[in-house]
Amino acid sequence: MRACLLLLVGCGAALSAQAAPPSPAPTTIVIPAVPLGRWTPIALLPGMGRPVDTAMVSARRRALLACIGRGVALIPSAHTRDVERDHEQDNDFRQDDTFFYFTQLETHDAWLLLAAAPESGHATLLLPPRDTAEERWTGVQLGPDSVAARLAGILDVVSVDSLEARLSLAAQDSAPIYLPLGDVTSDEQRSVELALPGREFRDLRSLADSLRLVKDADELRRIRTAIDITVAGHVAGMRAVRPGMWEYQLEAVIEATFRANGADRLGYPSFVGSGVNGSTLHYDVNRREMRSGDLVAVDAGAEWGQYTADVTRTYPVSGRFTARQKALYDLVLATQRAAFDSVRPGVRPGDLERIARRYMKGHSGALCGERSCDEYFVHSLGHWLGMDVHDPGDSDARLQPGMVFTIEPGIYLPAESLGIRIEDDVLVTKTAGEWLSAQAPRTTEAIERLMAAGGEARRP
């Protein structure tokens, strides 16, 4: 792959006269000419401008209508944010997951109205009218017209002004109204209640969340892209790290690689925990200077196309594991493998958790002193993965092909200033599990080999 190199040179010659730390080697961030997350944008679509997989979202709407049987589902999109008020630097506009799941549109202040009747269903997309003055500031909007109908694959597209009228029309009999109750604003809920006084409201979220458990082909494509980008970031981090580097500098290399490969944003705040910080499970301050002899645990994932990866790698800042670090690391790795080897349809996450803990306990020996190492494995083995890093749905549902989850055992020994976590993303196939993030080096040998190669490449 053609790539141009951007050299970020650390404080070199000017400071090298001072005694303190050895002058850091330059860090190379590879800017790929062809990002892993490339796609063909549709100019008329707001947001990222990615085309909608109209067949796939239509199948999801049909599945929801089949669950409902009889009734009306009403799903609002996310709203625009106000730069004066909302601290947009915390997070740019991101579509509501439920709305995205059933439309793949990144448009704001819209509604999806689904009417379910036995053997049939009808979808209506309600969009705000276009505001050409506002478009000068924030870009193209999808308006209630034939362009929206074509791009969204929903034939009935009307203005949001007709929400109440459409709702009364769709809900003529006494069928229940399904709303994602946790997601609608109180104003939105009030306007629906006013349009349909005295009606029964039910929560749509649990139905939508249960559909999201098994990923379809379009979702898997997105997850695989997010994971490939994430792997590139972890590999770049392993190549770049060195004693004297600060955690946030390692974070910068990893996140720059995500973005350089087309990531839309982070899936969650990056955890770069060296030394004792590695034993703080969700440490994301990332402000410590890393020292030779430290392990650094990096839990970072890119989001692409609304879907995120969730990958953790732990490696030695110096490029070489000590014998003790290697022994502990190999136990975590073998524990992960033991759980993975039991992945197959029908198994429950709780079964994998028990298998992992039993394995770690049975193979601890004297590694963790008087106690067994599994007592220092202080979080659960994993979680569902999708649009959310902790994707919703029954946390102990039996595995089915198409489900995606993490396997992430760890051992945390703050008394030794050490935390080890190895986290990979796994797809359930018809017969077993498939590692999705295995391209990020995972054995101590593979990590040391990569770090040695990276180290030579960056030495002047």
Instruction: Note whether 310 binds Mn ion by CB under 5 A.
Output: yes
* Binding piece for Mn ion, criterion CB under 5 A, among 33-41, 164-172, 185-193, 401-409: 401-409
Q: How far apart are CA 380 and CA 384, in angstroms?
A: 12
Nearest to Mn ion of 159, 380 (CB atom)? 380
Nearest to Mn ion of 74, 422 (CB atom)? 422
The string of DSSP letters for 318-331 reads TSS--HHHHHHHHH
Shortest Cβ 51–Mn ion spacing (Å): 30
Residues 145-184: x/- map of binding to Mn ion (CB under 5 A)?
----------------------------------------
3-state helix, strand, coil in the chain (%, to 5): 35, 20, 45
Residues 35-64: x/- map of binding to Mn ion (CB under 5 A)?
------------------------------
Q: Which helix (H) or strand (E) holds 32?
A: strand 27-32
Size of the site for Mn ion (CB under 5 A): 2
Q: How far apart are CA 214 and CA 70, in angstroms?
A: 23
Instruction: Note whether 314 binds Mn ion by CB under 5 A.
Output: no
Shortest Cβ 209–Mn ion spacing (Å): 18
Shortest Cβ 159–Mn ion spacing (Å): 42
Those residues with Cβ within 8 angstroms of residue 24's Cβ, 6 or more apart along the chain or in another chain: 10, 11, 242, 244, 245
Task: Quickly count: other Cβ atoms within 10 Å of residue 287's Cβ.
Answer: 11
* Binding piece for Mn ion, criterion CB under 5 A, among 94-102, 226-234, 323-331, 400-408: 400-408
115 three-state secondary structure = strand
Amino acid identity, position 323: A
Side-chain-facing half-sphere of 235: CA atoms under 13 Å: 17
Decide: 403 and 394 in contact? Cβ < 8 Å. no
Shortest Cβ 297–Mn ion spacing (Å): 12
Task: Quickly count: other Cβ atoms within 10 Å of residue 401's Cβ.
Answer: 14
Nearest to Mn ion of 184, 213 (CB atom)? 213
Shortest Cβ 184–Mn ion spacing (Å): 29
Instruction: Note whether 308 binds Mn ion by CB under 5 A.
Output: no
Shortest Cβ 442–Mn ion spacing (Å): 15
Torsion (CA) 380, 381, 387, 392 in degrees, nearest 10: -50
Residues 403-422: x/- map of binding to Mn ion (CB under 5 A)?
---x----------------
Nearest to Mn ion of 213, 451 (CB atom)? 213
Shortest Cβ 246–Mn ion spacing (Å): 24
Q: How far apart are CA 46 and CA 206, in angstroms?
A: 28
Nearest to Mn ion of 153, 409 (CB atom)? 409
* Binding piece for Mn ion, criterion CB under 5 A, among 56-64, 188-196, 260-268, 308-316: 308-316
Shortest Cβ 405–Mn ion spacing (Å): 9
Nearest to Mn ion of 106, 209 (CB atom)? 209
Shortest Cβ 230–Mn ion spacing (Å): 12
Beta strands per DSSP E along 352-429: 404-407, 410-413, 418-421, 424-428
Q: Across-strand partners of 159?
A: 127
Q: How far apart are CA 45 and CA 306, in angstroms?
A: 15
Nearest to Mn ion of 294, 310 (CB atom)? 310
Nearest to Mn ion of 106, 299 (CB atom)? 299
* Binding piece for Mn ion, criterion CB under 5 A, among 200-208, 290-298, 310-318, 371-379: 310-318
Rg (CA), the chain: 25
For 213-306, where are the alpha helices, taking DSSP H only? Answer: 217-240, 247-260
408 three-state secondary structure = coil
Beta strands per DSSP E along 92-170: 111-117, 120-127, 156-159
Q: What's the DSSP call for residue 423?
A: B
Shortest Cβ 315–Mn ion spacing (Å): 18
| Nearest position to Mn ion, beta carbon | 310
Shortest Cβ 270–Mn ion spacing (Å): 12
Q: How far apart are CA 257 and CA 247, in angstroms?
A: 16
Given the rule CB under 5 A, which residues bind Mn ion? Answer: 310, 406
